[in-house]
Every structure is written in structure tokens, then in C-alpha cells.
Structure 1
Amino acid sequence: MSGRALAGAAAALLAAVGIGLGLHSVTSDLQGNPGSVRAAVGATEDTSPNFIERRDPKDPLALGRVDAPVVLVAFGDYQCGHCASWSTDTMTALQKHVEDGTLRIEWRDLNIFGKDSARAARAAWAAGRQDRFLDYHHALFADGHARSADQLSEEALVDLADELGLDTERFSADMESADAKEAIAQNQQLGYALGASSTPAFMLDRKPMLGDQPAEVFERGIQRALAEQESEDSADGDGEDAPREGTTSDPTGSTI
């Protein structure tokens, strides 16, 4: 896909979801700068553009099958109290859908509280490189509370990795690696490109949601997404369950 077509597709999608996401002037910036689209979403010429769900099998911050029918993209911050309560209560409740293959969760750090949050995000990414993202994520949000800035120092984050039995030498190297910094920066840029300015914020089946909402709200969104896909598959008559193109209606009535 050409750079102009890629930028146009990005602009169209961002314009569609921007109504719900409180999208700012980034849409016009993306139209004029296709490179910024690539930087934000990791798009390549030989893949169809997917600016919200990445479905990357090597993503350290993702849970669930790459081909899960429903994807929840969650934007958070490790100093965000509402993110902590959502992760402890709602994310835990939704784990059953991850385990049965229905749902994929892709965590994206927005880091609205600055460098300490970004350091914690890199730490969670490093834990994910050892297949321990979920354990580390919940440890950062222990008992449904976010850590204070002084509890997110490099020493504290490495100590937490040690408590969880991770290879701390590898963990430290991964946390400070260029790959970690680039990945976290891309995730943050994606959130800002979509207009997310507070946390937690979500895209469930490419539909916007905002805030620490209960599991029931997400359950309804998941069931609605599955029903829509089943209806589309029946209409097409092909029975395929590949990820479909997004729509802009919001099954929860929530907006970002």
C-alpha cells in the first residue's frame, strides 16, 4: 500500500473513531505525514493497515490468541488508580474469555504521569519478554492500588522482578533496551493519535469506551461483537472467523 493510501486509510479510521475518542488535530497531521502513522502503529507496506488491533504474535504486552474473534485494546498508566482497580476487578473477570480463545487483550501504556510511568511500562514489557507480563502487571497493581512514583524506581522494579522469579539480569537489559523504549513510545503515540487523553481508555472490537467500567459492560460488548460477526458470517455464507473491518457504533453507550 502506498504512503498516500496508508495515510488516507488512517485518517478515515481516525476520523470515524475520533468522535468517540475526543480526537484532536492529529488527523490532519497524519494525512500529511504517513511516516508518523507507521511510527505509531508499526504498519508495513506488505500488511493491510490495522491501526488499533495489532495482533502481533510477538507482542510482550498481549494476552490471548492472535486470531481471537474479539480484541480489547486497553490504554493505561501504572500510576493510575482507576487502571489499578480495573485491572484487579474487570480484567481479571475477563480472563476467562482470554483462556477460552474468545478475547485478546492488548495493553498499551499511555504514561500520562510521566517518566516513572514510562519506566514501569518498560518493566512490564521486559517481564513480557519472559512470558510474565500478566504476573508483573498485577504485581504493579497489587490489591487494586497503583504504586507511587518512588515505588517505580529502577531498583524497585528489578526487586519486583526478582520477587516473581524472573531472570533479573535479562530483565534489566530488556527494560533499558532500545526495543523497549521504542515499543512503549509507539504505544503512547497510538493512544494520543486516537485522542485518548485520560486512563483507562479502551477500544473493544474497535469501538471506544472510557473509564473504570464494570465487567458487565465489557461482557455486553464482547457478546455484541460475537453476535455481529456471526451475523456477518451468515450473510457472507463463508463461515470464516477472520478479524473483520471495524465499525464505529459503540455497544456500551460509552465514549472517550
Structure 2
Amino acid sequence: MSISDSSSSSSSIDTQLPGAPDPADYDFDPYSVWGAASVIDGLQEATTVEDYSRLLMAKPDDFWPDHIDFGNTKIAKEVAIFNLGSATDCPHLGETECQVDADDCYAYNAEGEGGYAPMALPKRRRQELLWKESDLYLFTRALQRTFERKQHEITALRLSESGDIRTQQDVRDIQYIADELDVPVYLYTASSGLDWSEAPDVTINASNEWVEGADRQYDAVPTVDDIPEDGIQCPYDMEGSDIKCGECRLCIDPDMQEDVYITLHT
């Protein structure tokens, strides 16, 4: 992301104004993504918080969902969700850093041909466009304004339900957002090569043992019997449970220090 001169942010954030996407910055052709032309045009014309709010909540037709979600089957509606990229383009897909094989990744399977959410891939790629090409100052304030307009209280922001964090600049940008918003920001990551100490206000759930500076581990194990005595099973993962993420705060609040476990579903 870039940030406008109207912000008093750290000098570590790029100060160049948003421009046309450079295909070299993406694992896909940003100009061929369904609906991307409207996002790119919107970014080129966006100069206000209101402009960015419209990009986040854009619905030009019945097939283009909002670029920000509020809950789903696992996450409570009080939690906002924004993806920095897709599972298809995840830097850890099928790699040793990830706890599951690509064929077992729910987010990836949703995006694939014949998946249960065929519009997920283009949407998440448009979200990546928004993430990389937006002005950080305006984007952050558009998030806050969007939260304030909801009829129910927003209690957390979940980043990257699909994909993972790629660069150290992403870490710095996420920290900026967490520092500016009125709600906690949390994520899950296998990106062990990044310095997470640069995001002290973000709750980091590490999905492998190599991530340093995380608030806790969030691990997948074969069965409940494999959960260590000092670990906690994710309440959503418990048999018969109807507790959603957001209603449970184990992964959101940094003062909850116990490692959390889910069981692998086959």
C-alpha cells in the first residue's frame, strides 16, 4: 500500500500515490480478473474516504459481493473480514510451512474449478488489488467508517481468511491499521520469514512452529486426543458446538496466552 501526505504515519510506509497495477507485482494478470476494471478505475479516481468506502462495499450487480464481509458460517457477524489475497495465490500453498496439503485447504478448494464458491477467487484477487494499490490512510479510515455504519457493533477485524502475509511492508501496513482502528485486528499466519515484532498491536496466531513473535500457536492435530494438556480445543471445532469465532475471543485477545488446536477433518 501507499499512504497519502495527509497522514502522520511512520516514514517506513511508502509515500508514492496509487498508480495502475504492475502485473509484475502479482501472481496473476490483474487486468484479466473479473470485475477488476471497475476496481482499478475506482482506485484511480478515489481521493476521499467516501470513495474508498464505496470500493469496499461495491455491489454493481448480483454476482459481485462486497469486498469486505461481516461473518460467515464459522465467524460471527460482529467480525469484519478482509483478505489480502486468495488461497490459490497463497505463498505457502502446498509448501512445508502450511499445516495441511493443498487438497485439504478449505479456502483453496472453494476457489477451484467446481468449488462451492466459484466467485471467491476473483473476489479475493480484487481484494488483493485493493490492498496493494490503495492509499493506506484513506483505506484505513474507510474501514472505520464502514464499521460505524453497520447496524450492529463490529468487535474485530480478521485479515486474510484466505492466503497469507507476503512482505514486511504488509506487516507494517497491518500494524498501521491496527493502531488506527477502534477494534482489535487479528490473523493467522504461516509466514515465518517475517518480523512480526513490527506488528505489536496485531494478534498473531502462528500456524507453524517457525513463526517468531506470535501471541500463540494455532495448530491442527489428527484427533482431540492429540491436543496437549496445556492446549485448548477451538470451541467452534468442538462436537455439537454453535460458538463462532468472535463470540469466542481466544484467537482475538492477545492476553489469552494458551495455544489453540483444531482437529483435521477428513
Same fold, judged at TM 0.5 (above): no
Higher RCO structure, 1 or 2 (CA under 8 Å, sep 6+): 1
Q: TM-score, normalised by structure 1?
A: 0.25
Q: TM-score, normalised by structure 2?
A: 0.24
Structure number having the greater helix percentage: 1
